[in-house]
Amino acid sequence: MSIISVDLPWKEGKRGRRTLAIADLDGNVKIAQASDDNELLELVCESAEPESIILLDIPIDGCDNLDDKHFRPIDKAIAHQTLPALPASKAASRGKGLKALLEKDKKRVRVYEIYPYAIYKFLAYLKREELLQRLNLDKFDTLLDEGFRIYWPPKYKRESKRDKRLGNVECLYSLLTDTNIGLNFQVPLHRPDTSCTLSELNRLCDEYDACLGAIVGIYFANYSSYACVAGDSNSGNMLLLADRWLSEQLSREVRVCHSEKRG
């Protein structure tokens, strides 16, 4: 089974990078690029297998019934954990349309919405607290606490000062290559350095976002209890990483279903 995580522009018809992180159950990852939606769909279809998991960094469900509102229940629920999301209304029906096109494939793929920043903050907090290795234990535990809400990981996209942004992108690189995460890059992941231009840093951030999505997809495919779907298919949902504490916080507002081993 393959796990295909896609970082893409929200605006339909926009040309430019679509970045894919294509992984297997063992965490082997390769990066691919598409210039438009047609090339993206071709790459996904080539890489997909029966029951493959496809992850899109864009709102999918729940955007049709927003009316004059801009945020879905799942967006509000994660915002209360200091995981601010862009207005789902900006995505319109793009995510839902892409999901429909991907599900036309005969391989019975499963398509989920992801939010890379939420995955990043969860993992970065655990790394700071030296708890990353606990994710790999066959146990569902309480790893976060109230400090998670007020924690802001280094800004790898919205930092205006170039030198500081470079250091923040390096922090994310270090997180993605941490052995406790378990990603094995078939071609070494590009690392930021002082020669990187702004556009090169933006390209790296697209790659890193796709990799963050691959992480939650790998955990979900391997039935880790720390992978969950928060929300519902009518009003919108996301595939997230959550411990007992975060799961309890989210479940006060939306439904939370954790991955479980079958049979």
**Residue 45 CB burial class (10 angstroms; 0-12, 13-18, ≥19):** middle
167 within a domain of the structure (yes/no): yes
* pLDDT class of 263 with cuts at 50, 70, 90: very low
Segment 53-96, tens digit of pLDDT: 999 999 999 998 786 789 999 999 999 999 999 999 999 899 99
Please give the tally of structural domains in the chain. Answer: 1
Name the pTM for this structure: 0.95
pLDDT at position 262: 47
CA distance 121 to 125: 6
Q: Report the SS3 class of residue 237.
A: strand
pLDDT for res 176? 98
pLDDT, tens only, 193-242: 999 998 899 999 999 999 999 999 999 999 999 999 999 999 999 999 99
pLDDT at position 13, please? Answer: 67
The reply to whether 263 falls in a domain is: no
Mean local confidence (pLDDT), 20-25: 98
Q: Would residue 11 count as lying in a domain?
A: yes
Report yes or no on 185 lying in a domain. yes
pLDDT of residue 11: 84
Q: What is the pLDDT of residue 66?
A: 80
Is residue 21 in a domain? yes
pLDDT at residue 224, rounded to an integer: 96
Q: Which helix (H) or strand (E) holds 53?
A: strand 53-56
Q: Is residue 219 part of a domain?
A: yes
Q: Per-residue DSSP letters for 101-153? A: HHHTSTT--EEEEB-HHHHHHHHHHHHHTT-GGGGGSSS------THHHH---
CA 194 to chain centre: 27
User: Is 146 within a domain?
Assistant: yes
pLDDT tens-digit profile of 28-41?
Answer: 999 999 999 999 99
Could you give phi then psi for residue 232, rounded to 5 degrees?
A: -145, 165
Widest distance between CA atoms in the chain: 52
Q: Residue 79 has what DSSP assignment?
A: H
pLDDT of residue 188: 96
- Domain-located, residue 221: yes
Q: Please give the helix or strand (H or E) that residue 96 lies within, else none.
A: helix 94-103
Determine phi and psi for 171, rounding to 5 degrees.
-60, -45
Range of the domain at 29: 2-258
